Amino acid sequence: MIHMKKMAIIIGSEGQDGRILFDFLLKRDYQLIGIGSGIARSHGLSWKKKVDITKEKEVQALIKKIKPDEVYYLAAFHHSAQDKVRDNLRLIEKSFAINFFPVAYFLEAIRRHSPQSKFFYAASSLIFGAQAKGKQNEKSSFNPDSFYGISKLAGLLMCRLYRQKYRVFASVGIFYNHESGFRPAKFISKKIIQGALDIKNKKKKFLKIGDLKASVDWGYAPDYVKAANEIVLCKNPDDFIVATGEKHSVLDFIKVVFSYLNLDWRKHVVEDKNMVLMKRGAALGDAVKLHRVTGWKPSVSFEEMIVKIIKELE
**Domain contains 256:** no
Range of the domain at 53: 7-182+219-246+283-299
Q: pTM of the prediction? A: 0.94
Q: Is the pLDDT of residue 10 over 70?
A: yes
- Model pLDDT for residues 53-110, shown as the tens digit of each residue: 999 999 999 999 999 999 999 999 876 544 566 789 999 999 999 999 999 999 999 9
Quick check: is 240 in a domain? yes
Q: Is residue 101 part of a domain?
A: yes
Residue 31 falls inside a structural domain: yes
Total Cβ atoms within 10 A of residue 272: 10
**Residue 22 falls within a domain, yes or no?**
yes
Looking at residue 80, which CATH number applies to its domain?
3.40.50.720
Q: Rounded to whole angstroms, how far apart are CA atoms 153 and 89?
A: 18
In a domain, 128, yes or no: yes
Dump pLDDT digits (tens) for 241-256: 999 999 999 999 999 9
Q: What is the pLDDT of residue 1?
A: 42
**What domain count does the chain have?**
1
- Contact, 230 vs 296, CB < 8 A? yes
Report if residue 141 sits inside a domain.
yes
Q: What is the pLDDT of residue 49?
A: 80
pLDDT digits (tens, 9 = 90+) for 257-302: 999 999 999 999 999 877 765 555 568 999 999 999 999 999 999 9
Task: Say which residue, 42 or 3, is predicted with more confidence.
Answer: 42
pLDDT at residue number 272: 87
Judge whether 65 lies within some domain.
Answer: yes
pLDDT average, residue stretch 189-199: 96
